[in-house]
Structure 1
Amino acid sequence: MDKALRGKFGKLLARYRVTKGKGFRLADHDPADTAGLDYSKAEARELLARGTALLAEEQSKLYAQDQWSVLLLLQAMDAAGKDGTIKHVMSGVNPQGCDVFSFKAPHAEELDHDFLWRHVRRLPARGHIGIHNRSWYEEVLVVRVHKEILARQKLPDAVRGKRLFDRRLEDIAAFERYLANQGTAIVKVFLHISRKEQKKRFLERIDHPEKNWKFSSRDVAERGYWEDYMQAYETAIRATAAPHAPWYVVPADNKWFTRLVVAGALLATMGSLDLAFPTLPAEEKAKLAEARAKLVAEKD
């Protein structure tokens, strides 16, 4: 990886990476923070382009090595920029080695299984990057805020109770430890948007016809639960932040900055995996040399 660029990203990431949940406070993180950087749009695009090019190189090694998998979990309030982040950060990767899944409300078959079931089915294979646009954390976020959703989950009375969400967080933490032990590098991102910026983006979606499709009246209704959601996010991050499954609390009020930090988080994670193209044993290299000699000797 480009050492200079890695250094720039590294300084950013330490500011937003959370590996220990104890004492974590969401209020300590400013959604408008840019770490003192003041890039022009052109400068930000150029830096992101360099990052996505490096990401494509790392993905090629990941795919060829076929040992590790990388899982990016994206969580955010509405309009924080999940789709745009995926589009811009992953613009240079090979689609054959990258799988993106957007999780909506569970359907009937999924409700007949445990809450992790549908996510397990979409985990990335070795050599692949998997991106989950919303994830199993919805079960301790939206379900915690809207507890009426539990009525549709068919849970036995014996497993309900005051500690249901605490137990779910314990299960998630244990599952992420399991994934890490199996060779899945986990990157968890919370795009931290302010309520003020969300309002601005909602108004843009309403005022611009080409963006109307992005808006739902439910989005405004959910703003009424803002503090409940912030508390749910804070609780989830406290319970599940770990060195093997860190959270990145990424400021989301400035899209250019959001994309740089997410690209940096992926680059840092993949750079830590010692990825390399496989080297052939001597006998296979001899076969390559023999094949080359035959090709060179052919008459065109």
Structure 2
Amino acid sequence: MDMKRYLVKSNQKVSLEDYSTKEDFNLKEEELLDDILPKSIDKLKELHWRLHAEEKRGIVVVLQAMDAAGKDEAISYIFSNLTAQGLKTASFQKPSETELKHDYLWRIREGLPARGQVGILNRSHYEEVIAPKVHEDKLKDEMYPDDMEKDEVWKMRYRQINDFEQHLTENGYKVIKFFFNMSKEEQRQRLLERLKNPEKNWEFSYNDIKERRHWDEYQEAFEAMLSHTSTDFAPWYVLPADDEWYSRYIITEVMVNCLKEIDPQFPELSDEDKEKMKEAIEELENEKN
């Protein structure tokens, strides 16, 4: 798979119309589900074990999308295969009263992974350059400098986010970001499924319909986000999210390639530890039942 097809280059001006929401990947779904994707996940599991054992580096995974684009399902299918001790998941919704009393990046730190972990941000700091841009009433005066016009805030925040992610990178954390590029028609079908299927009613929120009315404004906000914050050290990948299984395959392969670059290794035992292990083996083998 050529990952460059989905990569947003640094300083690239993005139009989502240039990215397909549905991919003709020349694979039978059965082949993808039964063979190719499981093998890719097996590679991811092995590399993740090494990352967790080594405890030197970490990975921050950012997931952003419109509602019903498949973020939760991707997390369940892919990352549930990884060892729980080496995984951290955080979901950021509407800021709480306490969070609003701090800068907008403050709450993100609690969701960041430790060394040896993959941290998944299901929604993230990018909410602060999306929702407030679509709904300007959410951006209060105290959230930006007194001498700054409201329409200048976004350029400032893009820079701040890039600086934040560069700081993470320089301190041993890879940052990988996935945008689920879903078509408006596909979202309509998925929301209808949630409404009509009793087993999926619990997934539906009336707010999804409310936000859907601002579809075009959200697309513009996503395009600006992708254009200004995809960097060489923290790139965005645009997924053809109408194809849920293929999108999961892309995520898995990007993660595998990232871990291969890190090249984590199982820690080597010292001579002292090897001797202690030898003694422990002998004790257990000679133990009487």
TM-score (norm: length of structure 2): 0.93
Q: CA RMSD in A?
A: 1.8
Assess, with a 3 A threshold, how the Cα gap between structure 1 residues 235 and 120 changes in structure 2: closer, same or farther: same
Inter-partner Cα distance in structure 2 for 1:152 and 1:83 = 33
Residues 253-297 of structure 1: per-residue CA shift (max 9 Å, x gap)? 011111111111111111110111011223332333343344444
Q: How many residues align?
A: 289
Alignment check: 8 A CA contact 1:77 1:193 kept: yes
How many angstroms does 1:117 deviate by? 0.5
Inter-partner Cα distance in structure 1 for 2:95 and 2:279 = 56
% identical aligned pairs: 36
Q: Which residue of 2 aligns with 1:32?
A: 22
Q: Which residue of 1 aligns with 2:164?
A: 175
1:228 aligns with 2:217: yes
Aligned AA for 1:121? Answer: E
SS in structure 2 at match of 1:186: strand
Alignment check: 8 A CA contact 2:61 2:119 kept: yes
Inter-partner Cα distance in structure 2 for 1:37 and 1:247 = 24
Q: Which residue of 2 aligns with 1:264?
A: 253
Alignment check: 8 A CA contact 2:103 2:143 kept: no
Aligned AA for 2:104? Answer: F
Q: Which residue of 1 aligns with 2:234?
A: 245
Alignment check: 8 A CA contact 1:48 1:89 kept: no
With 107-116 and 222-231 compared, the bigger mean Cα shift is at 222-231
How many angstroms does 1:44 deviate by? 2.2
Alignment check: 8 A CA contact 1:177 1:244 kept: yes
How many angstroms does 1:251 deviate by? 0.6
Aligned AA for 1:230? Answer: Q
Residues 205-237 of structure 1: per-residue CA shift (max 9 Å, x gap)? 111111112122221222222121111111111
Q: Which residue of 2 aligns with 1:18?
A: 8
Q: Show structure 2 runs of 5+ residues with no match.
A: none
Aligned AA for 1:118? Answer: R
Alignment check: 8 A CA contact 2:64 2:122 kept: yes
Assess, with a 3 A threshold, how the Cα gap between structure 1 residues 219 and 297 changes in structure 2: closer, same or farther: closer
TM-score (norm: length of structure 1): 0.90
Q: How does 1:143-182 map to 2 (within 5 A)?
A: 143-151=132-140, 155=144, 157-159=146-148, 161-182=150-171
Inter-partner Cα distance in structure 1 for 2:287 and 2:186 = 65
Q: Show structure 1 runs of 5+ residues with no match.
A: 1-10
